[in-house]
Structure 1
Amino acid sequence: MAKLVLNNVYKRYENKKRKKNEPLSPYAVNNFSLACEDGEFVGILGPSGCGKTTTLRMIAGLEDISGGEIIIGETVVNHVLPKDRGIGLAFEDYALYPPLSVYENIAFNLRAKKIDKEIIKQEIDRIAPLLKVDDLLHMRPSKLSGGQKQRVNMARAIVRKPKLLLLDEPMSHLDGKMRQILRTELKRLHNSIQCTTIIVTHDQLEAMSLADRIAIMKDGELQQFGTPLEVYDNPANEFVAGFIGEPPMNIMTVKVIKEGSGAFFKFMDADISIPVPQRYMAAISDGMRVRLGVRPTDLLIGDAASKGSEVKISVFENLGEERKISFRVGADFLTLVTTDEKRYRQGDQVKLEVKSEKTHLFDVNTGEKIVPK
């Protein structure tokens, strides 16, 4: 195991054909800092093009960094060759050698280091059962399913006994059921080998279920680094709030209306208002516009005695264990998720309640979280 630290890391791809007065290309990774503890499972999460794979490739030494430093264990590895960094790397693409058997694919890197055949066999016999490929060792990659190929790919990375295991979108090619199975296997494997592991993914469910902590990226910059519960319950900004959660958080612009000692959030273009929680009273002012966020599970349909606002159902989806209900409120759509077994139809009039104490506020201009004072 090894601790991984990134200090103010930058990456800019140089345009060799850039004209003299043409501006430099933007940073693909911009002032990125992160500290992962020994044996920790960390997810780097973000949309396509946010810089997460570039970050992983810099850790692996496959990309030069433009600034900052990367430390593995106690060693600054900025100029250390990939083969000398003590890493195991499994790509999104399985990259197995078709003419070789599974055994030979797993053994390939060890043979390249001229390790004794008996030691190679011992290591493969140790790793293969952990990844459930011990009955596939005689087969060629062309005979394997996608899930089996990815297991072999990871076995090849782990058999090297890396200090740091790097996984780049390892399940993106798999179908939903196989992804779920491999997620469970990967978590079990991490607990077995006790290796510091970094996984890059755009799938927030994957990151939430696997990682001890998640680093969320946007446009090359770190937005938030915390446990799955921290980023879900206390998002640092509007981007994180909308990116984490399925369905995503409802976020809309509202206006603050003060009345006496209390205040309400008034929805734009809709006759809906909810009380401002006491914790926000010192952070808001009359007429102020803010971005209000509320999770789908924190919206409720009230009963006949409810004081909630009347709305019409736009879409009702019965998903088996839960129901998803959508409403059009002005220019926004609100989504509610409930386990209530009652069924509705499009156009049904209901009373919508909001758990105001569960709401989140973001600055309407910057998107940053408004912290209660």
Structure 2
Amino acid sequence: MLEEKAQYSMGDEERNYYNEALKYREKLIEVEETGYNYLLKGLTLSRLGRTEEGIDNYLKSIDLEPANPFPYNNLGFNYHNLGEYDKALEYYLKSMECLDYEETLLPFNNIAKTYRVLEQYDKAEEYLKKGLERFPNKDVFYESLRELYAIMGKYDEGIKICSEHMANVENVDINEIKRTKGDLYKLKGDLSKAKSYYEDAICKGKNNTEAYLDLGKFYLYQNKYIKALHYYKKTLKEVDETDYENLYEIYFHMAMTYKFLGFKKQNYFRKSIEYCIKDIGDEKEYFTDTGYTPARIHNITRIYINMGDIEKAEYYIAEMDKYKKCKGCPYGKCYEKFALMGMLAEAKGDIEEALKNYNIVLEYEPEYLYAYIAVKRLASKK
């Protein structure tokens, strides 16, 4: 792959792979200095978190092959991650000027992400539509437009995009799109339609982990705790034992639902932590800087807050400030940090502060379930 691409994690094995790859890239350049070889070296350095060195190699790549769109796109991605959004847009646009050399959808979606960070949502929509017009069979533009319309409150537009996605892209996951439509109808306030789409996503003879999990969250959204638990328990029967990400989610949601019912299920919270870090090994390694550390801190810290370990939660929230935003982040603010601050304020009994933070979360991520639940519950206590 020639483009910068988000990775969820990088353990020792993967890090060692990229270090070995870097040695190989350097030997290739010793043999022949080409734009392609500098592009590969820049990509490898960027994956290792050596952003400035990556930028230097992309610039060398451009000197040798100025018509190639990929080094411009990758420079844009690096500058986006550095928070230099004007420079990011400059290089993404240069990448688009080179599409006759080689077709790539990347700059369209990346420009839209940068405009989302700048909260220029109309511009983000413009470039996603341009990308969709040029690449009508690519999932990413339908998915990105759906997310954008949810933030903009254009739920009908999002629902329409879901229908177009099903019609125009081959081998698309129809059941996933049905669940997405359910999300949009839920945000729109049409719970009857939302329920019908969630239920229609259940498929006989197939694994229904995601469908049951979404139904559980749908009933939790309505404070129907027993119904929510019913579906979470069904999810546990469906989920593969190696599906650590969903196991982490299931046990967290079950623990939270029991908490709302007045029962402490600390063992479920501990199970959630166990599955959250299972791929990595231990908590310390889990927080190794991979470019996605703020999201990882959020994943663990929300559990500690709800377990009542305020001291550990405060420590981890303070740690978030040591890291840049997650790679490729399309949000103007780190909504996950505001979610943690809301939960922490709520745990301390500061309702006004909690509401302030939860409302910021919903501004950037309207589907954040626990912010919605908390706002509805705490607003009545003011």
Query: TM-score surpassing 0.5?
Result: no
Q: TM-score, normalised by structure 2?
A: 0.25
Structure ranking higher in strand proportion: 1
Length-normalised TM-score, structure 1: 0.26
- Structure ranking higher in helix proportion: 2
Give the structure, 1 or 2, with the largest relative contact order (CA under 8 Å, sep 6 or more): 1
